[in-house]
């Protein structure tokens, strides 16, 4: 692969990193965004959420550059061909791309921040192979009925999209053994406290 001059290879990122990389995955609807939002408020570590790029459309209330960088498929493809992504995937097979931009992650780590990637399982497995020594957590919703209930309550997807997300979830559970930590998001505050306690174990080491 041709790496752009302005961006760093994973091993260069790791060598200059002062912070830690954290990968959080789990099925869509498990509560990752809810938990991460609260974690950022509550956990006294220098956490920073990586803003992914996506070709999906913004949901009501989502702001470009805050929840995601919303890109056209053409711009996304261009960045992909330039090697600008640490990882990127077509999630749920519905033609929507999501990706982690290499440059903001590198500068966050260099600044000493603990950079959180909230990404799907396929992307996470790619990052695990990247020699960036991530701390990896899998957020579990409890059971399938609860996952479906949460997706329906959120009211952000059509029935077809919910079906695609539930089908993907079944496959995602199979990747559980690759994660260092499993956290059941039965109650948001409890799950957040558990994640914060896990992360603190990595301080000074
Ligand atoms: P994800 O980011 O994993 O797709 P969200 O954070 O959007 O999931 O959560 C999906 C829905 O479930 C949201 O409506 C959210 O308010 C709700 N939710 C999140 N965590 C819990 C929980 N522990 N108990 C009940 N509902 C939850
Ligand atoms: P949503 O459309 O609900 O915001 O996200 C859908 C799925 O895409 C979630 O499972 C989320 O974790 C995943 N996702 C978000 N950003 C990225 C990313 O940068 N890379 C990958 N591989 N998955 C992502």
Q: How many domains does the chain have?
A: 1
Range of the domain at 30: 21-200
Looking at the domain assignment, is residue 13 inside a domain? no
Looking at the domain assignment, is residue 6 inside a domain? no
Identify the CATH number of the domain in which residue 121 sits. Answer: 3.40.50.300
Mind listing the pLDDT tens digit for each residue in 19-47? 999 999 999 999 999 999 999 999 999 99
Atom of ligand 2 nearest to the CA of 100: 19
204 vs 9, higher pLDDT:
204
Looking at the domain assignment, is residue 165 inside a domain? yes
Check if 29 has its Cβ closer than 6 Å to any atom of ligand 1: yes
pTM over 0.75: yes
Looking at the domain assignment, is residue 42 inside a domain? yes
28, 85, 90, 91: residue to mutate for ligand 2 pocket, most atoms within 8 A of CB: 91
Nearest ligand, CA of residue 55?
2
User: 83-88: long-range contacts at Cβ-Cβ below 8 A with a sequence spacing of 24 or more?
Assistant: 83/1, 83/2, 83/3, 83/4, 83/7, 84/4, 84/7, 85/53, 86/10, 86/126, 86/127, 86/130, 87/119, 87/123, 87/126, 87/127, 87/130, 88/53, 88/123
Looking at the domain assignment, is residue 130 inside a domain? yes
Question: Which residues, other chains included, contact 45 with Cβ-Cβ below 8 Å and sequence gap of 6+?
Answer: 114, 196, 199, 200, 203
Q: Could you tell me the distance, in angstroms and rounded to a whole number, from the CA of residue 12 to the centre of ligand 2?
A: 25
Ranked by mean pLDDT, which of 125-134, 148-157, 193-202 comes out on top? 193-202
SS3 assignment, position 48: strand
């Amino acid at each position: 692969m041709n790496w752009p001059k302005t961006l760093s290879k994973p091993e260069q990122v790791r060598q200059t990193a002062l912070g830690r990389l954290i990968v959080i995955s789990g099925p869509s609807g498990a509560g990752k965004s809810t938990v991460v939002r609260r974690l950022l408020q509550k956990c006294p570590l220098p956490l920073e959420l990586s803003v992914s790029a996506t070709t999906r459309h913004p949901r009501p209330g989502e702001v470009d550059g805050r929840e995601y960088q919303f890109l056209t498929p053409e711009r996304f493809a261009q960045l992909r061909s330039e090697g600008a992504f640490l990882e990127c995937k077509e999630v749920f097979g519905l033609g929507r791309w999501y990706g982690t931009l290499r440059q903001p992650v590198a500068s966050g780590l260099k600044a000493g921040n603990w950079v959180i990637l909230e990404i799907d399982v396929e992307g996470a497995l790619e990052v695990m192979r990247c020699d960036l020594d991530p701390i990896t957590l899998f957020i579990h919703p409890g059971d399938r009925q609860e996952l479906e209930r949460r997706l329906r309550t959120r009211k952000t997807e059509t029935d077809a999209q919910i079906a695609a997300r539930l089908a993907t979830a079944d496959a995602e559970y199979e990747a559980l053994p690759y994660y260092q930590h499993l956290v059941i998001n039965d109650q948001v505050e409890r799950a957040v406290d558990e994640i914060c306690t896990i992360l603190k174990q990595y301080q000074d080491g």
